[in-house]
Amino acid sequence: MEWNGVLDHYFNYLPVKERKNIVSLSEGNSPLIRARNIEETLNDDLKVYLKYEGANPTGSFKDRGMTVAVSKAVEKGEKAVICASTGNTSASAAAFAAKSGLEAIVVIPEGKIAFGKLSQAMMHGAKVVQIKGNFDEALEMVLEISDDYPVTLVNSLNPNRIEGQKTASFEISDFLGRAPDYHLLPVGNAGNITAYWKGYKEYYDSGKTGRLPKMTGFQAAGSSPIVDGKKVENPETVATAIRIGNPASWEKAERARDESGGMIGKVTDDELVNAYRTLAASEGVFCEPASAASVAGLFKMDGTDYFDQGSVITCTLTGHGLKDPDVAIESSEQPKTVGKSVSEVLEVAGL
């Protein structure tokens, strides 16, 4: 099958008017990987699939939304885009802006975005502004700026972002030939859970699927405003991508949870890192720490009576592991250095 990105493939479901305005990096069509090794370790009888969004061109799910947001900006004759970001949105905005010829301005919390993501924004030629504040404060700033100046906001408050991101639900349903029974994913600013739910509902309403999944989101325990029912002033977690204390789509996430009969829970950093390492070591899938919230949540709910036996579960892995090599290296056994003799190498290799 020829693949030219989510706008080309799902054009009739998306808001861009003319195909000539599409700005695409051939995003989407990401792998849906059966996680048989993980399935075997579970108490519940479940079929588990990983939607590996790290395979997108900039290494995260943000590309699905950004192709629509930037194409619409081009269609409207805009000149610049702006976003606040924990890293992935800025990387994606910078790349799509580079492709389209628009200018990108990205506002990020200093020292709190993974290095791979920072390098992307810089390489794609965005104007990178670091603030001595967190993501929530950066988002307030870009909202104010985009109100007052001729720059288009490309955070997920821009509905075009949600439109694009809903295509992940379409792909999953198309690949499986049905919607899953449960969909698990990390929750940060809460745009993605909103988008997935919208996508599943649209496919259901158009008769493409005959069921709706229970939307099951997970926040990091140090950044869990939705679970705790209150804003977090100083969110903390190893998963910097979801270090968010006041999600923009808070109510929409609650609606997705409640309409679908699902839940939003929290996982500790230890649980996150355990799932992150298990995915890499037993399934061969390297995602970034925040992404592993979905599978950490699967482990947490396994053996409670949350899942019906025999269910089909999809877990979104939102970003690529190479985005944040620091956490990977810090949480791993360090490599041993030896001299130049074969015998020393053999000893370390255990041969």
Residue 192 makes contact with ligand F0G by CB under 6 A: yes
| Minimum distance of ligand F0G from residue 242's CB (angstroms) | 5
Q: What SS3 state is found at 130?
A: strand
Residue 156 makes contact with ligand F0G by CB under 6 A: yes
For ligand F0G, the closer of residues 60 and 158 by Cβ is: 60
- C-alpha torsion sign, points 159, 161, 162, 164: positive
- Residue 44 vs 256, nearer CB to ligand F0G: 256
**Residues 26-45 as b or e (16 or more Cβ within 10 Å = b):** ebbbbeebebeebeeebebe
Stretch in the footprint of ligand F0G (CB under 6 A) among 146-154, 267-275, 288-296, 331-339? 288-296
The C-alpha torsion from 211 through 216 and 217 to 220, rounded to 10°, is -160
Does residue number 224 form part of the binding site for ligand F0G (CB under 6 A)? no
Please identify which residue in 318, 321, 327, 328 interacts with ligand F0G, judged by CB under 6 A.
318
Crossing angle between the packed helical segments 62-75 and 88-100, to the nearest 10 degrees = 40
- Helix (H) / strand (E) containing 117: helix 115-123
User: Among positive and negative, which fits the CA dihedral 183, 184, 186, 187?
Assistant: positive
Q: First CA to last CA across the chain, in angstroms? A: 46
Q: Find the part of the chain contacting ligand F0G (CB under 6 A) among 33-41, 71-79, 286-294, 298-306.
A: 286-294
Q: Report if residue 69 touches ligand F0G, rule: CB under 6 A.
A: no
Identify the residue among 188, 199, 245, 321 touching ligand F0G (CB under 6 A): 188
Q: Quick check: 120 binds ligand F0G (CB under 6 A)?
A: no
Could you tell me the smallest distance in angstroms from the CB atom of residue 333 to ligand F0G? 25
Using the minimum distance from each CB to ligand F0G, give the nearer residue, 58 or 278: 58
**Phi and psi angles of residue 286, each rounded to the nearest 5 degrees, phi first:** -105, 110
3-state secondary structure of 293: helix
| Strand residues in 39-159 grouped as ranges (E) | 46-52, 80-84, 103-109, 127-131, 152-153
Between 71 and 249, CB nearer to ligand F0G: 249
Among 121, 187, 226, 275, which residue sits at the site for ligand F0G (rule: CB under 6 A)? 187
One of 104, 172, 184, 242 touching ligand F0G (CB under 6 A): 242
Contacts of 219 (CB under 8 A, 6+ apart): 186, 187, 188, 225, 226, 227, 242, 264, 265, 266, 267, 293
Is residue 58 involved in binding ligand F0G (CB under 6 A)?
A: no
Question: Which of positions 135-154 make contact with ligand F0G (CB under 6 A)?
Answer: none
Q: Does 290 bind ligand F0G (CB under 6 A)?
A: yes
Query: What does the block give as tokens for 337?
Result: 């250095």
**Residues of this chain that bind ligand F0G (CB under 6 A):** 60, 62, 85-89, 156, 186-192, 241-242, 288, 290-291, 318-319
